[in-house]
Amino acid sequence: MFENLIESKQKNQRTLGQTILSLALHGLIIVGAVKATQGVAETIKNRPVDTTMVFLKPPEPPKPPPEQTPPDVIVAANPPPKGFQTVVAPTDIPKDIPPIDLNEKPFDPRDFTGKGVEGGTGTGVTGGPVSGDVFLEAQVDDPVVPISIPTPRYPPVLQSAGITGSVDLQYVVDTTGHTEPNSFKVMKSTHPAFVEPAKEALRKGVFKPAKSKGKAVRQLVQQRISFKVGQ
């Protein structure tokens, strides 16, 4: 048999020149790659950097809370009793025609009927003691005086919204200096949510009771409770 295998194809041997050319081409490729990398790096290095500084305005300090002041508590004049005005004859008869005041209340003949309580008006509250021996301010010697009325509870929703207002109430103060719970009547209110807190404050209030001829009596009172933000 055969002792030596015969090559199917004879290999071509590289010459020295081909080797040098291959090395030269590889070197050029490496140098080109290095130069390209350096160019990109230089481009990134030379790119302008935004160094603009922006100063933010610090937040303003919170405003101090407004001074808390108690609500306005005013004992308003009670409605006049139903009665009549007293006609006083002038001592000096004027010789000239007096000036005409257009803002003056017009003459009402019902105020001079001579019936009812003296000092009242024809369209006022029924004269004399009101039902249940409740007197008006004009009928007592010493009217009701508030001694201590707590600050009314401010409705949270209205307070947060900054809504102010007031409530005008009519009620009866008994002989012990306290309000009668069933006597409250709302005369005027800027918002319905203010009514109940105003009543609560007056129910907890203490008053000096009215006196007539040295005796404590029940009196009808009208009062305004005001609500201010910050109270």
- CA angle at 213 for the pair 209 and 219, rounded to the nearest 5°: 35
Residue 142 included in any domain: yes
Overall pTM surpassing 0.85 (yes/no)? no
Q: Could you tell me if residue 195 is inside a domain?
A: yes
- Show pLDDT as tens, one digit a residue, over the chain (231 residues): 555 555 555 555 667 777 777 777 777 788 777 666 666 556 555 666 666 676 666 777 777 666 554 444 444 445 566 666 666 666 677 777 767 666 666 667 776 676 666 656 666 655 444 445 788 988 889 999 999 999 999 999 988 888 999 999 999 999 999 999 889 999 999 999 999 999 999 999 999 999 988 889 999 999 999 998 876
Q: Is residue 212 in some structural domain?
A: yes
CATH number of the domain residue 196 falls in: 3.30.2420.10
Give the chain's domain count.
1
- Tell me whether residue 148 is in a domain: yes
Across 147-166, b (16+ Cβ under 10 Å) vs e yields eebeebebbeebbeeebbbb
Domain that holds residue 191: 133-227
